């Protein structure tokens, strides 16, 4: 029994050592900015050791490329115009962040989402240096904007036209990832109770055999 308990403690120990103590997750629910439009989607933000992992899914969008950026204000009213300009903490020129970096692109210059004939599109990108909370390039409370047209990376904002989808970036959870990992490994207090009970039964059997 002690050995089993010890090995569970050991697994927990390894899991704890291997993961950063805290990891924030965020989301932006994308909704249509214009009445009569069914544009919708979600942007998920996940802080990882490699950077901010961003996964965007959109639906009911016209096929083709559509500019997708983080804009500076967390307000989607007035057909998305209330979101203000591009999130640009360094006051630099417009570009493609994954390629040009923070010196030559705005902190939310994610380029384009390519939408297929079925009206859906996915964008996946990991940006080192970008965070959900804390630091110089935090995106919490900003908004994501899906544009009517393609971002051609021209100045000052890529000529992407109107704003067809918008969502405010909010923190979904900020949990201790060690707890999360324990849950992922499906070792619960109940499991430990079960193991303990099973061991007690084993011990009783042994005792009986001993008699």
Applying CB under 5 A, which residues contact Cu ion?
Answer: 69, 145
H or E stretch covering 110: strand 109-115
Nearest-5° Cα angle at 161, 137 to 149: 90
User: Which residue's CB is nearer to Cu ion, number 69 or number 142?
Assistant: 69
What are the structure tokens assigned to 186, written together? 């499906």
Q: In angstroms, give the least distance from the CB of 197 to Cu ion.
A: 59
User: Which residue's CB is nearer to Cu ion, number 15 or number 166?
Assistant: 166
User: Which residue's CB is nearer to Cu ion, number 24 or number 144?
Assistant: 144
Residues 6+ apart with CB under 8 A from 112: 65, 66, 67, 68, 123, 150, 151
Closest-by-Cβ residue to Cu ion is 69
Q: In angstroms, give the least distance from the CB of 188 to Cu ion.
A: 45
Q: In angstroms, give the least distance from the CB of 108 to Cu ion.
A: 8
109/87 Cα distance (integer angstroms): 8
User: Which residue's CB is nearer to Cu ion, number 105 or number 145?
Assistant: 145
């Amino acid at each position: 029994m002690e050995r089993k308990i010890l090995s569970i403690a050991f697994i927990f120990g390894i899991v704890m050592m291997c993961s950063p103590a805290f990891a924030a997750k965020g989301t932006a629910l994308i909704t249509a900015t214009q009445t009569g439009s069914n544009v919708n989607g979600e942007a998920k933000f996940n802080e990882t050791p490699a950077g901010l992992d961003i996964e965007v899914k959109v639906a009911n969008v016209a096929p083709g490329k559509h500019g997708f950026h983080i804009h500076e204000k967390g307000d989607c009213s007035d057909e998305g115009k209330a979101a203000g300009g591009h999130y640009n903490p360094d006051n630099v020129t417009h570009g493609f962040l994954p390629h040009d970096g923070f010196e030559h692109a705005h902190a939310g210059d994610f380029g384009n989402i390519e939408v297929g004939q079925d009206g859906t599109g996915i964008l996946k990108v990991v940006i080192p240096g970008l965070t959900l909370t804390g630091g110089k390039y935090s995106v919490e409370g900003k908004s994501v904007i899906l544009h009517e047209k393609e971002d051609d990376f021209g100045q000052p904002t890529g000529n992407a036209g109107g704003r067809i989808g918008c969502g405010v970036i909010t923190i979904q959870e900020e949990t201790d990832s060690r707890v999360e990992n324990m849950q992922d490994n499906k070792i619960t207090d109940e499991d430990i109770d079960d193991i303990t009970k099973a061991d007690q039964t084993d011990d009783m059997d042994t005792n009986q055999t001993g008699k």
